[in-house]
C-alpha cells in the first residue's frame, strides 16, 4: 500500500511539474503579426466585410496556444488568396457577441462564410492546403 502511494505521489508531482513547464514555455511564444490582408472583424463591420465574398473566419483568443499555432498558417492562406476570397479574425474576448451568435464553444474555430452566411465549420488546427482547398470549392 505504501509503495502504491509513493508511486501515485510521484506521478502527481511529475504531472504538476510538466504542466508548469509547459505553461511557462507557452507564455514565452511571441505572437505572430497578422498578414496585411487579414480582416479584423467586429460586430460593426462583420456584415459589410463578409458581403459578396468567401471569408474564412478564425475565432481565437490571445491565451489560446493552438490559436497561436494557427496564426502563421492563416498568414500563408491570406497571402495566397485573391479576388473575392479573404481571411478574417475575430478575437472572442473582444467580440463575445459574435462568438455567441455563431455558437463558438471551443477555439480555434474556423467558419467559412459565403456572402455572410456560414457554409462550413472546422474546429482545431488545420493545415494551409486543407483550408485553401475548402475555400476554393466556394470561389470557383
Phi, psi dihedral angles at 72 (to 5 degrees):
-65, -30
**Which of 38, 55, 57, 67 is an active site residue?**
67
Any catalytic annotation for residue 67? Answer: yes
Residue with cell 465574398: 53
Distance of CA 86 to the CA centre of its chain: 15
Any catalytic annotation for residue 116? Answer: no
**Which of 32, 34, 42, 64 is an active site residue?**
64
Q: Which residues contact 126 (CB under 8 A, 6 or more apart)?
A: 70, 73, 110
Residues recognised as catalytic: 64, 67
Amino acid at each position: 500500500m505504501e509503495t502504491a502511494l509513493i508511486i501515485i505521489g510521484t506521478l502527481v508531482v511529475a504531472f504538476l511539474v510538466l504542466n508548469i513547464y509547459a505553461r511557462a514555455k507557452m507564455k514565452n511564444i511571441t505572437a505572430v503579426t497578422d498578414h496585411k490582408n487579414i480582416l479584423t472583424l467586429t460586430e460593426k463591420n462583420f456584415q459589410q466585410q463578409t458581403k459578396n465574398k468567401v471569408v474564412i473566419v478564425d475565432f481565437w483568443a490571445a491565451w489560446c496556444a493552438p490559436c497561436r499555432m494557427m496564426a502563421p498558417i492563416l498568414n500563408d492562406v491570406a497571402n495566397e488568396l485573391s479576388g473575392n476570397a479573404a481571411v478574417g479574425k475575430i478575437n472572442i474576448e473582444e467580440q463575445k457577441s459574435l462568438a455567441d451568435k455563431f455558437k463558438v464553444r471551443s477555439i480555434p474555430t474556423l467558419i467559412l462564410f459565403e456572402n455572410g452566411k456560414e457554409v462550413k465549420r472546422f474546429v482545431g488546427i488545420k493545415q494551409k492546403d486543407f483550408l485553401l482547398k475548402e475555400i476554393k470549392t466556394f470561389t470557383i
